[in-house]
């Protein structure tokens, strides 16, 4: 599994969405104070699949093996959408490896509206409230198509991971859940479910952001995530 590392400081593992790895302004900012470990899930972004890894649960084991071997201690984990489901599985099955957990509109807990999936234009609008803010380079079409195909490979084509919701209350990691107020891919009800089931979770809505919060509101998202990672529960307390 390919892993890119940037920055220096306390380790933070970032698990990418179905679009593959994109170095957004949020990741660049986090890399100023942390060592970011950004794996590319096998099969994404032109990499090869691995025969035995065919589910988001399996990807979590693969990431867990990486953390044990290369970081060697509990670390902060942040997962976006598809990567959010992987992060949930990691926190469930390898809890001692996860310190703070950040879930950016995580997948796996609901089916995605089929009409939305079939309509690329509508899906794009659901992804970005502010597409003009996209700062990363567009990937070649064959890579994007292959990334989309990986959803089926990992049993995630409809978004749902049926075993995941029933296990949520076993997660012990302190968790920050982020949801864009304009997100039409992941419903607010799903975020409420997550908030109610995770014993130590904080839910924050990011105003004027769709599914890609990192693109739509990078400053706001960075501020919340940094505060949460630095101050844990105390991030709710305002400070000058």
Task: State the residues that interact with another protein by CB under 8 A.
Answer: 181, 192, 195-196, 202-208, 217, 220-221, 223-224, 235-238
Half-sphere exposure at residue 49, Cβ-oriented, CA atoms within 13 angstroms: 14
CB of 203 to another protein, least distance (A): 5
CB of 92 to another protein, least distance (A): 21
Closer residue to another protein in complex, CB, 8/196: 196
Closer residue to another protein in complex, CB, 57/212: 212
Closer residue to another protein in complex, CB, 6/133: 133
Q: List 12's β-bridge partners, or say none.
A: 36, 76
Closer residue to another protein in complex, CB, 26/156: 26
CB of 138 to another protein, least distance (A): 28
Strand 10-15 with 75-80, pairing: parallel
Rounded CA-CA distance 26/30 in Å is 6
Rounded CA-CA distance 40/16 in Å is 7
Rounded CA-CA distance 150/43 in Å is 7
Instruction: Tell me which residue has tokens 């590319």.
Output: 40
CB of 65 to another protein, least distance (A): 34
Which two structure tokens, joined as six digits, stand for 193? 């479910």
CB of 220 to another protein, least distance (A): 5
Closer residue to another protein in complex, CB, 94/179: 179
Closer residue to another protein in complex, CB, 3/203: 203
CB of 209 to another protein, least distance (A): 9
CB of 192 to another protein, least distance (A): 5
Q: What letter does residue 219 receive in the DSSP assignment?
A: H
Closer residue to another protein in complex, CB, 42/180: 180
Instruction: Confirm if 81 and 183 have CB atoms less than 8 A apart.
Output: no
Which two structure tokens, joined as six digits, stand for 227? 């505060």
End-to-end CA distance of the chain: 42
Instruction: Confirm if 36 and 61 have CB atoms less than 8 A apart.
Output: no
Half-sphere exposure at residue 127, Cβ-oriented, CA atoms within 13 angstroms: 17
């Amino acid at each position: 599994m390919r892993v890119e590392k940037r920055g220096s400081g306390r380790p933070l593992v970032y698990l990418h969405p179905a679009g593959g790895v994109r170095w957004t302004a949020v990741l660049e900012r986090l890399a100023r104070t942390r060592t970011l470990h950004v794996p590319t899930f096998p099969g994404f972004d032109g990499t090869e699949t691995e025969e035995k890894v065919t589910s988001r649960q399996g990807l979590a084991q693969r990431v867990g093996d990486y953390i044990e071997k290369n970081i060697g201690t509990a670390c902060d984990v942040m997962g976006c959408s598809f990567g959010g489901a992987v992060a949930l599985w990691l926190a469930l099955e390898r809890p001692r490896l996860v310190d703070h957990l950040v879930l950016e509109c995580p997948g796996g807990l609901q089916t995605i509206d089929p009409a939305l999936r079939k309509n690329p234009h509508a899906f794009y609008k659901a992804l970005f409230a502010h597409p003009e803010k996209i700062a990363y380079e567009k990937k070649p079409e064959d890579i994007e198509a292959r990334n989309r195909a990986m959803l089926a490979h990992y049993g995630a084509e409809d978004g749902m991971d049926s075993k995941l919701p029933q296990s949520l209350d076993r997660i012990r990691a302190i968790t920050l859940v982020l949801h864009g107020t304009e997100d039409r891919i992941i419903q607010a009800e799903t975020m409420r479910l997550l908030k109610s089931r995770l014993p130590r979770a904080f839910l924050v809505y990011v105003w004027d952001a769709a599914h890609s919060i990192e693109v739509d509101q990078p400053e706001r998202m960075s501020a919340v995530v940094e505060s949460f990672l630095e101050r844990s529960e105390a991030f709710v307390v305002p400070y000058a």
